[in-house]
C-alpha cells in the first residue's frame, strides 16, 4: 500500500467543496444507555474514531421527536430530540465534541412532510377554520367519494387518506402517517425557516434536505400521466406514473433561494445539500444548485439504486456535471440508509473481498463531494434480516422482492470480542450479522492492509490532492470492463484506473506516472481483476 502523497497544496475553495462526509444513522451507531438503540451520547463517544478516518463532516439522520413510523422521517417536533436519542443537551455536547475534533455537523431537515402526530397537523385536521387549516394539503373528494386525483404514494397505494373530522382527503407522498405540508403557504415557509434558524443557532454547520422535490405539489391537482415504457420492470404502483404534478414544481426554486439565504445569513461556511430523486433528478439537481444563491450541492440516486456497475454508469453520471460556468457542484453516494449496501448490490451476495477497496477507490476518486455511509469503510455487505425481525415498513410491504432497507441499517460492529459487537450491552433493535462482526473495527484497526486502513489512506490522499478534491474529470477511452479518468487542477494530474471485471486486463494507461495508490494486482501494464490504481502524472 502506497502512503498518501504530501506534495499537493491544499485547495482554496470552501470546506465542503470536494469534502468527504460521513453519514451516521443514529439508531444503529452506538448505544450508550443499554436499551438496544443507538443515541446521541453514543455517537459522541465514538467521534474520535470518525475523526480518525480523516473525513470533513458528519451527517446525522433524524434524531427528532417522532412516533418512528418511518424511523424519524416522520417528525412530530422539529425542535425536540426524541427521548430514545437523548436530549438537546446531548446534541449540544455532540456538536461541541465534533467541532473540537475538526468535524462539521450536518443534520437532516424534513420539510416536505411531518408526522400526523405533529401539533401543526393535529390543529389543521381539527376543522377548516383554524389558523393552521391550510398548512397541509387538503382536498374534497370527487362526487363519487373517491380521492381527488390519481396520485400514488411511494409507499404503495393512493397519495390520499380520508380524514372524517374535516371531511376531506389529505396528501401524503409517503406513509399515511406523513402528511404533506403545503409549502406554497408563506406561513409554512416562515415556520420552516425558523426551524432552520433554531438549529443553526445551536451550531450546526448545515443541512441535508430530505426529499426536497416532494415539498410542493400542483395546486390544480392534475392527474399524473402513466409511464409509457411498457417493458419496464416495476416493483411499486408508484413506478407506473410520471410524477409531474405531485412533486418537482417550479415554485420550489424561490423557496430554495429563500432557504439558502437564511442558511448563508449565518456565515459563508454553512452548507446545504439536497436529496433529489425521480425521473427528472438531473435537471432538478442542476436547477436547485445553479448560480450563487441556491443550494451548495445535491445528490440523486444515480448509483444508490443501480443494480450493476459498469464504466458507462460512472462516465454518464459525471458527464452531466462538466464544470460549466454557473453550474452547481455534485455529490455522490454508493450506499446509505435507504439503499442496499453497495458491496452486495454490485459485488453479489458473496462478494469477492476485492470489491470493498475497489469501490472505496472509485468513490473517493470522483469529482464532487463524497458521502460515506457508516460501515462502508469496513466493507460491510448487506445484512440478511429474517422476516420476523424486519422493522422497515417498506421492506415488510415488499418482502421478499427487494433487499429492503433494514439490511443496510443494522448496528455498527465495533468489537468482535464483546457481546453484541460492543454496539450495546443488550439485544439491539436489529440483529448484527456474524459476517459484520468478523469485519468489526477491532478486527481492522491497526491492520495496514485492512479495508479500514485503505479507506483512511484514500481519504487522506483525497484531502492532500487538489486534483482529487476539486479537479476536472476527463474519462479515458478504455475497453470495458476497464474504467479510467484523469483528475486535474493547478498543474496537478491524477489518473484513476479500475478493472471492474473478474479477469486481468492489459492497460497501457498504466505506462505514465507514479503509483500513489493501488489495490488488487497492478503490474506490467496490467490491471488484475477488481483492481484499482491512482497515478500521479507530471
CA-based angle 206:16:305, to the nearest 5?
85
8-state DSSP, 297 = E
CB distance 86 to 40 below 8 Å: yes
Q: Parallel, antiparallel, or unpaired: how do β-strands 57-60 and 104-109 relate?
A: parallel
Q: Is 231 a catalytic residue?
A: no
Q: Which three cell numbers stand for residue 164?
A: 372524517
Residue from 488, 512, 522, 526 nearest 8 by CA: 488
Q: Which three cell numbers stand for residue 29?
A: 451507531
Residue from 117, 259, 137, 269 nearest 193 by CA: 259
Catalytic residue (choose from 205, 210, 392, 536)? 210
Residue from 361, 369, 351, 329 nearest 533 by CA: 361
Catalytic residue (choose from 70, 82, 163, 275)? 275
Q: Is 210 a catalytic residue?
A: yes
Q: Parallel, antiparallel, or unpaired: how do β-strands 505-506 and 329-333 relate?
A: unpaired
DSSP for 346-358, written as a single string: HH-TT--TTHHHH
Residues 6+ apart with CB under 8 A from 377: 53, 360, 451, 452, 455, 456
CA separation, residue 140 to residues 133, 160, 161 (Å): 14, 11, 11
400 upstream amide cis, omega within 30 of 0: yes
CA-based Rg of the chain, rounded to a whole angstrom? 23
Residue from 422, 344, 415, 352 nearest 376 by CA: 344
Active-site residue numbers? 210, 275
Amino acid at each position: 500500500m502506497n502512503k498518501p502523497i504530501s506534495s499537493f497544496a491544499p485547495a482554496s475553495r470552501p470546506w465542503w467543496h470536494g469534502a468527504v462526509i460521513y453519514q451516521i444513522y443514529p439508531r444503529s451507531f452506538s448505544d450508550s444507555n443499554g436499551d438496544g438503540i443507538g443515541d446521541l451520547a453514543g455517537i459522541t463517544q465514538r467521534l474520535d474514531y470518525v475523526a480518525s478516518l480523516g473525513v470533513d463532516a458528519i451527517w446525522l439522520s433524524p434524531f427528532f421527536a417522532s412516533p418512528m413510523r418511518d424511523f424519524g422521517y416522520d417528525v412530530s417536533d422539529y425542535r425536540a430530540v426524541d427521548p430514545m436519542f437523548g436530549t438537546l443537551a446531548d446534541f449540544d455536547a455532540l456538536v461541541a465534541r465534533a467541532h473540537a475534533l475538526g468535524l462539521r455537523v450536518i443534520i437532516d431537515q424534513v420539510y416536505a412532510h411531518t408526522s400526523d402526530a405533529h401539533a401543526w397537523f393535529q390543529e389543521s385536521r381539527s376543522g377548516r377554520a383554524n389558523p393552521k387549516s391550510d398548512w397541509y394539503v387538503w382536498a374534497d373528494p370527487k362526487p363519487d367519494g373517491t380521492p381527488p386525483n390519481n396520485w400514488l404514494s411511494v409507499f404503495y397505494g393512493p397519495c390520499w387518506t380520508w380524514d372524517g373530522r374535516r371531511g376531506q382527503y389529505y396528501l401524503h407522498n409517503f406513509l399515511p402517517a406523513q402528511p404533506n405540508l403545503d409549502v406554497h403557504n408563506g406561513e409554512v415557509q416562515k415556520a420552516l425557516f425558523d426551524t432552520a434558524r433554531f438549529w443553526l443557532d445551536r451550531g450546526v454547520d448545515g443541512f441535508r434536505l430530505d426529499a426536497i422535490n416532494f415539498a410542493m405539489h400542483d395546486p390544480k391537482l392534475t392527474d399524473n400521466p402513466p409511464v409509457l415504457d411498457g417493458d419496464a420492470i416495476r416493483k411499486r404502483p408508484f413506478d407506473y406514473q410520471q410524477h409531474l404534478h405531485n412533486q418537482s414544481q417550479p415554485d420550489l426554486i424561490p423557496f430554495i433561494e429563500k432557504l439558502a439565504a437564511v442558511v448563508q445569513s449565518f456565515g459563508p461556511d454553512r452548507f446545504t445539500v439536497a436529496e433529489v430523486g425521480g425521473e427528472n433528478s438531473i435537471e432538478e439537481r442542476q436547477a436547485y444548485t445553479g448560480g450563487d444563491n441556491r443550494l451548495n450541492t445535491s445528490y440523486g440516486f444515480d448509483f444508490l439504486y443501480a443494480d450493476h456497475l459498469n464504466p458507462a454508469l460512472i462516465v454518464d453520471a459525471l458527464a452531466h456535471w462538466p464544470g460549466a460556468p454557473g453550474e452547481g457542484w455534485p455529490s455522490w453516494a454508493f450506499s446509505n440508509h435507504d439503499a442496499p449496501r453497495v458491496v452486495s448490490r454490485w459485488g453479489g451476495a458473496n462478494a469477492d473481498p476485492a470489491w470493498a477497496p475497489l469501490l472505496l477507490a472509485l468513490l473517493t476518486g470522483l469529482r464532487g463531494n463524497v458521502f460515506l455511509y457508516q460501515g462502508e469503510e469496513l466493507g460491510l455487505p448487506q445484512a440478511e434480516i429474517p422476516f420476523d425481525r424486519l422493522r422497515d415498513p417498506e421492506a415488510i410491504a415488499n418482502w421478499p422482492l427487494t433487499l429492503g432497507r433494514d439490511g443496510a441499517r443494522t448496528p455498527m460492529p465495533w468489537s468482535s470480542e464483546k457481546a453484541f459487537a460492543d454496539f450495546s450491552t443488550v439485544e439491539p433493535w436489529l440483529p448484527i450479522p456474524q459476517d459484520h462482526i468478523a469485519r468489526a473495527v477491532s478486527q481492522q484497526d491497526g491492520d495496514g492492509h485492512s479495508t479500514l486502513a485503505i479507506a483512511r489512506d484514500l481519504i487522506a490522499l483525497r484531502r492532500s490532492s487538489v486534483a482529487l478534491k476539486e479537479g476536472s474529470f476527463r474519462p479515458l477511452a478504455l475497453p470495458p470492463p476497464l474504467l479510467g479518468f484523469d483528475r486535474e487542477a493547478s498543474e496537478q494530474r491524477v489518473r484513476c484506473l479500475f478493472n471492474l471485471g473478474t479477469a486481468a486486463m492489459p492497460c497501457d494507461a498504466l505506462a505514465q506516472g507514479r503509483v500513489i495508490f493501488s489495490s488488487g494486482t497492478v503490474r506490467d501494464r496490467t490491471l488484475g481483476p477488481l483492481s484499482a490504481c491512482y497515478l500521479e502524472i507530471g
